[in-house]
Structures are given as C-alpha cells and as structure tokens.
Amino acid sequence: MKVKTTIKIKKFNFQSINSTFATQTIKMRLHRNLVYTTIDSLNAIFNEGEYADKVVARALKKDKRWGSSDRKFVAETIYEIVRWKRLYAEIAEVKEPFDRDNLWRMFAVWAVLRGYPIPDWRQLEGTPERKIKGRFDELSKVRALKESIPDWMDELGAKELGEKVWAKEIAAQNQPAKVILRTNTLKGTKENLRNTLMDLNIETEYLKDQPEALVLKERANVFLTDAFKQGLFEVQDANSQLVAGFLDVKPGMRVVDTCAGAGGKTLHIASLMENKGQLIAMDLYESKLKQLKLRAKRNGAFNIEYRIIDTTKVIKKLHEKADRVLIDAPCSGLGVLKRNPDAKWKLQPEFIDNIRKVQSEVLESYSKIVKPGGKLVYATCSVLPSENQEQVEKFLKTEIGKQFTFIKDRKILASESGFDGFYMALLERKE
C-alpha cells in the first residue's frame, strides 16, 4: 500500500518491447469480437479512469463461449497496450483524450509490432505497416518513449537511482509479472501443494531461498482451483513474501500489522506465528479489513483481530504493547509497475511528494506501538531512496526515532531479482 523474450519479425528487431506473445509462432488471425472487447476495455481505462485489473476481470466474463486462449488474448492484449501506451500513441500519432479511432490506431500499432496480419476491417484500413516499424526504431532511441513512461517519472528515476541503474530497472518493470504462489503452511507443505497442482495440470517450480514460494511455469487462473478455495495458497510476489520473514515473528508474540490492507502480508505473518499469539490487523478502510476477514477464514488463520484506524485513540491504546510492528507504508508503487502498468499513467509527481509526508507521519506515529526490546519493519513496494532509506534515516533523527537502533535493511530491484521492487528496514526499540 508489486518473462524475458526477444522476437524478430521480418528482420524487425523487437528487442525492447517484450511479450508473452513472443514465445509463440504467430500464425493466428485477429478475431473481431475479441478485438472489440479490447477496444472497449482500453476506452474504460484511458478515458474513464477505471483500473486495468478491474476492467480486465469484467472483460473476461463477457462471453461464456470464449476458451482459455481467447481470454488470454484479451487480458494480455489489454495489459500490453496499457503498458506501452505512450510509445504506441507516439507511433500512431494520436493524443489524449483518445477517441475510438485513436484507440484503433494504437491497436493497429500493437498488431503490426506483434506480427499479426492486418485484416480488411474498416477500422484498420490503410494501416501503414512500414511506417509503424520505422517510427518504432526512431522513437526507441529516447528512453522515456522506448520504455513508455512519463518524462517526469524518467527524470525522477534517473535522479534517485542514477542513469545506469534506472535504465535497467524501468526495462525490468516493463516485463510482465510472473505468477507466484505462497504456500499456506497452516494447511500444508509446499511439496504437497505442488503435487496437488500437478494433478490439475498446473506446473510449478521452486524458488531458491524462498521456503513457501512456487512459480507457475505458465499462467493459469489458479483462483478457480479447489486448492485455492480450500486456502492452500495465496498469490503473492516472491519479494513481497520476504517481508514477513524480515519481521522475525515467533509463535505467541503480539504482532501489529498497521497498514494491513487486504492482508497478503498479514496472512503470511499468521502462518509464521502458527496461529499462536495475537495478530492485530489495522487499516484506515473497513472495506479492506472485510476482504481480509474472508481471506483469513479461507486460510484458517484465526489469531487475527481487526481494528479500523478511525481515531488516534486506536493507536494510542497500543503504545509500547507490541513485540513486532509492520509498517507496510503507502507508497508510489514504483516497484510494482510490472503488475500495475496503468499506475504509470495514474501517478502524478504531486502524489509522490504527498506520500513522502504520509510515510514520515506514519513511521513516527505507528513506531510508538513497539515495546522496548521489540522490533519494527518499515517496508514499501517502491525503489526510490527518498521513500525508503532516506525516510528511515530521517526517522532515526526524530525524538521517537532516537529510541530505535537500525539493525539492517534490504533494497530489492526488479532488474536484479526478476520480481517486484521492494524495500524493508528492520529497527529495534532500545530497552
């Protein structure tokens, strides 16, 4: 509060824009009903401000006759065009707000660069294939266009991480995210889960140094499986799974997750506590805690209490009461663009300025919950030092921060790990 391929089409080097489609020999033809659904969805995302994940979920329910390949085409095409919006718009020579003709021109760019034969539909008449490829080569010389991000974001990333690191990082953030499962150890082992999924023809691989993680070899709708409905696993990025372990929780402790949200990390903490002790999940929004309650029931996690932060008294009542406190702070989300590509277009520089202030306030306020000798983890899914280590350094100079000792931190880049970008710092309150 998160697939590297290369394709050459007709001697056209498609090195920058990677896609899961690139693993296929493209002999497919475009189907009108699937493309129309894609155009409608892009209109909702670009012009009506809807979130891509919600739009895609709705689109996939549109026609019950669609098979898995049809749904895959719709979902992946929507996400691809959202991810490369700026580049495609520049190639197509269209500007926001996009009317339907503009969206069709952007779709035509996608289709040409993916090697699809252009059908003789009225909306795609006169598609300039050679010009599209030429403009791709030309525009790819400018990083902000090549990686399809706003200029301000490119400047900020380069300023905070340095040109070389940022160039690698934003390229990695433009790769589609892999699907990672976290075994719910309250209900079984990783090995048993892998075997159960294998029986459903869902193949997974282990991850080194990740005790509960399984990586899907191919994308699949795991939410429809009985294994998910029985609470045997959650979908959670590999680096997100590191946070709960970083907190060093033990069964029987009193642990507070101060920004629980829908509770991915809360549920992981509950499993590490083996349902023993007290786990308090807090959030500003009741709707998120309601989602967490449903997930906890499915997971068999019953040591969780739920508290809405509706007044400052909720925090004050817990001052110096917790063995462990997790502050999974609200952030820019610049570490999880690969799974939330529309955030590139919804984020504004003013939001990042404001969120840094919120992070400072949250860290000062919620840190008071840690009892002497207890530990605190401050975490974000951002790669910007100004949201991460600089926040911790600033906190340690405050009145409450001087009561803490810095133990260690971990900076994780998508370009180095292959998964989401994360930051986590472990602090201990002095006795």
Domain boundaries, position 120: 22-141
Please say if the pLDDT value at position 179 is more than 80.
yes
* Structure tokens belonging to residue 34: 């699937």
Please say if the pLDDT value at position 25 is more than 50.
no
DSSP, collapsed to helix, strand or coil, labels residue 316 as helix
Q: Which of 393, 327, 396, 391 is nearest to 357 (CA)?
A: 391
Does any domain span residue 31? yes
Over residues 197-211, the pLDDT tens digits come to: 999 999 999 999 899
Contacts 24+ apart (CB under 8 A), 65-73: 66/34, 70/31, 70/34, 72/219, 73/31, 73/34
DSSP, collapsed to helix, strand or coil, labels residue 26 as coil
The mean per-residue pLDDT over the stretch 323-352 comes to 97
* Structure tokens belonging to residue 290: 């309601």
Over residues 387-405, the pLDDT tens digits come to: 999 999 999 999 999 999 9
Amino acid at the residue 199: D
DSSP, collapsed to helix, strand or coil, labels residue 82 as helix
Over residues 245-266, the pLDDT tens digits come to: 999 999 999 999 999 999 999 9
How many C-beta neighbours within 10 Å does residue 163 have? 11
Does any domain span residue 339? no
Please say if the pLDDT value at position 84 is more than 90.
yes
Please say if the pLDDT value at position 20 is more than 60.
no
pLDDT of residue 314: 97
DSSP, collapsed to helix, strand or coil, labels residue 249 as coil
Least-confidence region, from 6-15, 175-184, 231-240, 351-360? 6-15
Q: How confident is the prediction for the chain on average, in pLDDT?
A: 93
Catalytic residue among 74, 329, 381, 392: 381
Please say if the pLDDT value at position 5 is more than 50.
no
Does any domain span residue 95? yes
Binding-site residues for S-adenosyl-L-methionine, please?
283, 310, 328
* Structure tokens belonging to residue 75: 């979902």
Does any domain span residue 278? no
Over residues 415-426, the pLDDT tens digits come to: 999 999 999 999
The mean per-residue pLDDT over the stretch 318-329 comes to 98
Q: What is the dihedral of CA 223, 190, 268, 321, to 10 degrees?
A: 160
Band of residue 28 on the pLDDT scale cut at 50, 70, 90 = confident
Does any domain span residue 100? yes
Binding-site residues, please?
283, 310, 328
Does any domain span residue 107? yes
Q: Is 259 a catalytic residue?
A: no
Please say if the pLDDT value at position 27 is more than 70.
no
Cβ partners under 8 Å of residue 311, min gap 6:
none
- What is the C-alpha separation between 229 and 380, in angstroms, rounded? 29
Domain count for the chain, please give it: 1
Cβ partners under 8 Å of residue 181, min gap 6:
193, 204, 213, 214, 215, 216, 222, 233, 234, 235, 236
Phi, psi of 106 (to 5 degrees): -65, -40
pLDDT of residue 3: 34
Does any domain span residue 323? no
Tell me if 173 sits within 8 A of 414, measured CB to CB. yes
Over pLDDT 70: what percentage of the chain? Answer: 94
Does any domain span residue 65? yes
Adjacency order of strands within the sheet including 213-216: 204-206, 213-216, 180-183, 233-235
Please say if the pLDDT value at position 158 is more than 50.
yes
Band of residue 8 on the pLDDT scale cut at 50, 70, 90 = very low
